[in-house]
Amino acid sequence: MPLSPEPAEKSAVLSPLPQASGTRDTAREDALRQAPGRPVLMLRPAPVKVRAITCHAIAYTVTHVLVERDDDAGYQASWEASWLVRRL
């Protein structure tokens, strides 16, 4: 049988969730700062396939491509080796 919560626990204040666009912009900016080379060239989002996952390419360097995807795990932006990325 579950125990009833203590009165101190009832007064917990929850902070509001960040907006989705702010989270996306922050994740994208963090990924761009961690680029594995220079210069970084921005692209118009183009559909690509990385391994078996469909995503969008948004930037690239000589050796890597920045891809973004929005799936059940949430928004993710990551650098992938260019030889793993195939245009759809």
Is the residue at 46 inside a domain? yes
Angle at CA of residue 40, ends 35 and 46, nearest 5° = 100
pLDDT of residue 21: 57
* Closest of 32, 63, 69 to residue 80, by C-alpha: 63
Is the residue at 25 inside a domain? no
* Closest of 60, 34, 33, 32 to residue 46, by C-alpha: 60
Query: Could you tell me the residue range of the domain that residue 67 belongs to?
Result: 40-88
Is the residue at 2 inside a domain? no
pTM tops 0.75: no
pLDDT in tens, 37-88: 888 888 899 999 999 999 999 999 999 999 999 888 888 899 999 999 999 9
* Domains of the chain: total: 1
Is the residue at 87 inside a domain? yes
Is the residue at 48 inside a domain? yes
Is the residue at 72 inside a domain? yes
